[in-house]
Structure 1
Amino acid sequence: MIIDVRAGREGDLPALLEIYNHHVRTGHATFDEVEVSLDDRQAWWATYAPVGSHRLIVAAGDERVAGYATSSPYRAHPAFQHTVETSVYLAPDAIGQGIGGRLYDTLLAELVDTDAHHVVAAVALPNDASVALHLSRRFTVVGTFTDYAIKRGRRISSTWFERPVRMRDECP
């Protein structure tokens, strides 16, 4: 499959919704337990733009969306205005094909020309592939919250990662 990595388009919303709701139903990549609606996703969509530090990047091919990555506000406090939290979600049949890495590479490259300074990400465990993805993109482990969440009666731990937007050896 040929994959085009690009900015998200409003027409992608139904596919993005299906990917997200798949993870709501089947796993713990999100802690949501109830599927979100298209109306919910339209409000979510409005928080992203093709410029600035809050982006939505899509991997599409063969007339379908295979996955997406986002950079979102970390927290509402003004002290965190230059910190973004990233997420990557893939369609089930797109996992293990390098699409997550391509999404992350594009997103991180686009953040360099914004006012974002720092990137954080959380990986709900176990998820060896996502841990490896973050480490391969030069994130460092901050620490692990052990059994700090519960989804469908199961306790979940998450490892948190961080990295500067501009890596020292990449700066001019």
Structure 2
Amino acid sequence: MRFNHRDAAEGDLPRIVEIYNAAVATRECSCDLEPTTVEQRHASFIRHTPDHRPLWVAFDADAASAGVIGYLGFFHFMNERPGYFITADLAIYLDPRYQKQGLGTYLLGQAIAHAPRLGIEVLTATIFASNTGSIRLFENHAFERWGYMPRVARLESLERDLVLVGRRLTP
């Protein structure tokens, strides 16, 4: 498969929410307990800007009719304090039909290549320890485990440990 991406447009928000809600239902990659709505995600969506903290949507170049099949967001690290602007926290969510097809690898590789143009020197992600596929994805891109937080999340009866991974892009 060949993938491409672009900056998300407001018209992509319903599909972004659909993909995110599929992830919420798995209890493997989000601390949300209930599905979200377009209205609830709108405020977060408009905080993403192409020149600072972009939100990208991905497409299958060989199946354009599939529409948006995943997305990657660059988020502020540690509550938007300016001293942390050299660091971005990444979130990747994929349509379940496109998981384990190379899309996560494509998006993460693009984020690593693009981050320096945004003034980003460090990339991080927080991942449930049980989500071994996502941890492996980041480790395959030279991210290291920088932290482990046991039992910091509870999703109904499921407790989750959290792994912080990070990669410095500049020496």
Q: Normalising by the residue count of structure 2, what TM-score does the alignment of the two structures yield?
A: 0.90
For the pair 1:72 / 2:75, whether they are aligned, the reply is: yes
State the distance in 2 between where 1:17 and 1:30 align. 13
CA RMSD of aligned residues (A): 1.5
State the distance in 1 between where 2:94 and 2:139 align. 18
Q: Secondary structure at the match of 2:124?
A: strand
Report the equivalent of 2:55. Answer: 56
Report the equivalent of 2:138. Answer: 134
| Structure 1 residues not aligned, in runs of 5+ | none
Whether the 8 Å CA contact 1:5–1:106 is kept in 2: the answer is: no
Q: What do residues 73-98 of structure 1 show as CA deviations (whole Å, max 9, x unaligned)?
A: 01123332222111111111110000
State the distance in 2 between where 1:154 and 1:27 align. 8
Aligned AA for 2:122? H
Number of residue pairs matched by the alignment: 166
Whether the 8 Å CA contact 2:86–2:121 is kept in 1: the answer is: yes
1:156 aligns with one of 151, 157, 160: 160
Q: Secondary structure at the match of 1:138?
A: coil
Report the equivalent of 2:31. Answer: 31
Report the equivalent of 2:97. Answer: 93
State the distance in 2 between where 1:81 and 1:112 align. 12
State the distance in 2 between where 1:3 and 1:84 align. 23
Q: Secondary structure at the match of 1:113?
A: helix
For the pair 1:116 / 2:115, whether they are aligned, the reply is: no
Whether the 8 Å CA contact 1:141–1:161 is kept in 2: the answer is: yes
Per the TM alignment, residue 16 of structure 1 is displaced from its structure 2 partner at its CA by 0.4
Q: Secondary structure at the match of 2:118?
A: coil
Following TM superposition, the consecutive aligned residue runs of length 4 or more in structure 1 with deviations greater than 3 angstroms are none
Q: Secondary structure at the match of 1:112?
A: helix
Aligned AA for 1:146? P
| Structure 2 residues not aligned, in runs of 5+ | none
State the distance in 1 between where 2:4 and 2:83 align. 35
